[in-house]
Structure 1
């Protein structure tokens, strides 16, 4: 006997004295999840990263206190330890705290570090996922990250290593991507593009297609389709900068002819044809 399908509503509570890490998505406010909007609306204190769209903050209560704690690559940032201290103090004062982060808190958002510190302080913490820029950017161009014929998997990797850390083994990653047919999504890689390019070329051909997507999902989104061998020169010629993601792999062939000039690309709610 088939049981009828049921739809349940979220039971997540945003209580005083708690902290919720919320992924604000890549920028387009329409990509915000329903649960994220609920959390933002419930907050009495919001600690907001630079990359969060102002339109997302329209969901906040007029009575909420909004504290901007800048976190942007290549710019002066609020120290992470200070942000964690602010969250703990506000929670202990009985506030409903939301830490609002661009993209997803657990994909290069330092959410794991914040969860550890909050739990160590005895603070109840929960996480609301958001759409990450690497997914939203490529989707906006009508192309998937995985494809049965072209990409059997996807790797999200950062191009910005922690000070004192050797960072990603790009040569090993290139060999794995080639042999396993993987799409590489590189965050925070523009400033080190020359190094990344040289290392990836040890295992991937120079003709490997890639796209650089700046300001994913925002009205000012721009992208350039090129090849691995022309990565650095394309960034310089088209004056692409952070925040940007670099997507490497055969799935990129579905966007446009390699070598197309930089373009403004994002249209909210756009429909794409195969």
Structure 2
């Protein structure tokens, strides 16, 4: 038998009896997939790992705390033998053979009647790889295929009709490697991409030639406000039957006006998928060596928009309350208002010596960090020509780290 290829097949185990003998590490790895397949699972083992025990406690597996006995495999469709007891393994394997039940053995693949492939999943696609006696190669091939499907480098066009709609994709802080795998896959499947200037621009060069890329900043506004024009473009292309990706920087719902777009699409009956992204409010400070929280230094962090200055009637931020907080304050879109912000915080009790870091173009090749204090940040930002996009971090966490502050102009 060993000289012939294994015949690949997908088992539909939902509601069908599956017996697992042994509650160790092998069972711990295999049980989640069997649970996900909907199998009626019976575990036979005197003991189990804490993770396997938790599955039993949750009711996902029926656990009989004993050794294998002849007759345990009656009516089973599939058996996994995974114990260190060679005699018990042989006996169970013999019963499976008599019952014509497919049987996998973790201790002796040659004695088994079935092999477990290296499997992976990506958006409804199951990848299963068998390479005979080389499980590491199976896993490597599996990983390469699944990764390609997830990041869009391995394209697999849909041959059935797709439902037109819009995906609001958070592209992360700027580094193209920091977009989620789902976001990258949707980009690879898009017909139209409407992109912000703060999105991961490098990914646009990877799109196939037929994909229409629209710069959101250049949409003709006419008599409409900018956001309304973007909404209209999303609606227009989706109604034309195209798969549309709205590529945003950071996360769509963190100062990204994503909900406005989702509401506009819902009003038109257009399906909308929201793909969260890594927010620059946390990732950019981290990339600059600043933790927004740190034991003994900051037990909280607050993220605010600085696009409207303190004192402006349009502002929804309670700056006096923020000045009293002891944690970290992260300000987005506040470079041109940092002077007024600093003055307001100081006026309401924040120490002028509070450390401040401005991180420009965070996570990109152009990233730079400029350090100051609340008392000096306005002058420093101007002298160092700090420009948007920049994330401003205010609080003692700025001084946390092996090297402390990077220094002005660093």
- TM-score, normalised to structure 2, is 0.58
Work out the CA distance in 1 between the residues paired with 2:237 and 2:273: 15
Structure 1 residues 45-124: aligned runs within 5 Å: 45-70=192-217, 79-124=226-271
**CA apart distance, 1:134:** 2.2
1:196 aligns with 2:345: no
Work out the CA distance in 2 between the residues paired with 1:96 and 1:70: 20
- Decide whether aligned partners of structure 1 residues 148 and 9 sit closer, same or farther in structure 2, where only a CA change above 3 A counts: farther
- Decide whether aligned partners of structure 1 residues 235 and 33 sit closer, same or farther in structure 2, where only a CA change above 3 A counts: same
**CA apart distance, 1:161:** 3.2
Give the structure 1 partner of residue 365 of structure 2: 219
Tell me if the contact between 1:37 and 1:59 (Cα under 8 Å) persists in the aligned partners: no
Work out the CA distance in 1 between the residues paired with 2:295 and 2:164: 46
**CA apart distance, 1:257:** 4.4
Work out the CA distance in 2 between the residues paired with 1:107 and 1:155: 12
Give the structure 2 partner of residue 268 of structure 1: none
Give the structure 1 partner of residue 384 of structure 2: 238
Q: Secondary structure at the match of 1:204?
A: coil
Q: Secondary structure at the match of 2:372?
A: strand
Work out the CA distance in 2 between the residues paired with 1:212 and 1:229: 14
Give the structure 2 partner of residue 146 of structure 1: 293
Give the structure 2 partner of residue 165 of structure 1: 314
Tell me if the contact between 1:70 and 1:78 (Cα under 8 Å) persists in the aligned partners: no
1:4 aligns with 2:28: yes
Tell me if the contact between 1:160 and 1:167 (Cα under 8 Å) persists in the aligned partners: no
Query: How well do the aligned residues superpose, as a CA RMSD in angstroms?
Result: 2.5
Tell me if the contact between 2:356 and 2:372 (Cα under 8 Å) persists in the aligned partners: yes
Tell me if the contact between 2:369 and 2:406 (Cα under 8 Å) persists in the aligned partners: no
Work out the CA distance in 2 between the residues paired with 1:259 and 1:214: 13
1:248 aligns with 2:394: yes
- Decide whether aligned partners of structure 1 residues 189 and 30 sit closer, same or farther in structure 2, where only a CA change above 3 A counts: same
**CA apart distance, 1:17:** 1.6
In the TM superposition, what whole-angstrom CA distance separates every residue of 1:206-237 from its partner, at most 9, and x where no partner exists?
A: 11111001111111111111111111011011
Work out the CA distance in 1 between the residues paired with 2:207 and 2:163: 16
**CA apart distance, 1:12:** 7.4
- Decide whether aligned partners of structure 1 residues 79 and 207 sit closer, same or farther in structure 2, where only a CA change above 3 A counts: same
Q: Secondary structure at the match of 2:375?
A: helix
Give the structure 2 partner of residue 74 of structure 1: none
Tell me if the contact between 2:170 and 2:276 (Cα under 8 Å) persists in the aligned partners: yes
1:185 aligns with 2:334: no
In the TM superposition, what whole-angstrom CA distance separates every residue of 1:62-104 from its partner, at most 9, and x where no partner exists?
A: 2111111129xxxxx9710010001011111110000001111
- TM-score, normalised to structure 1, is 0.85
In the TM superposition, what whole-angstrom CA distance separates every residue of 1:13-70 from its partner, at most 9, and x where no partner exists?
A: 9944210001111111111211111010010000011122331213423211111112
Bigger shift: residues 82-91 or 246-255? 246-255
Work out the CA distance in 2 between the residues paired with 1:187 and 1:12: 37
Q: Which has the larger radius of gyration?
A: 2
Work out the CA distance in 1 between the residues paired with 2:122 and 2:250: 21
Tell me if the contact between 1:26 and 1:133 (Cα under 8 Å) persists in the aligned partners: yes
Work out the CA distance in 1 between the residues paired with 2:354 and 2:405: 10
- Decide whether aligned partners of structure 1 residues 37 and 137 sit closer, same or farther in structure 2, where only a CA change above 3 A counts: same
Q: Secondary structure at the match of 2:214?
A: strand
Q: Secondary structure at the match of 2:236?
A: helix
**CA apart distance, 1:4:** 2.6
What is the total number of aligned residue pairs between the two structures? 254
Work out the CA distance in 2 between the residues paired with 1:229 and 1:235: 12
**CA apart distance, 1:114:** 0.9
Gap regions ≥5 residues in structure 2: 1-22, 34-119, 126-157, 219-223
Q: Secondary structure at the match of 2:194?
A: strand
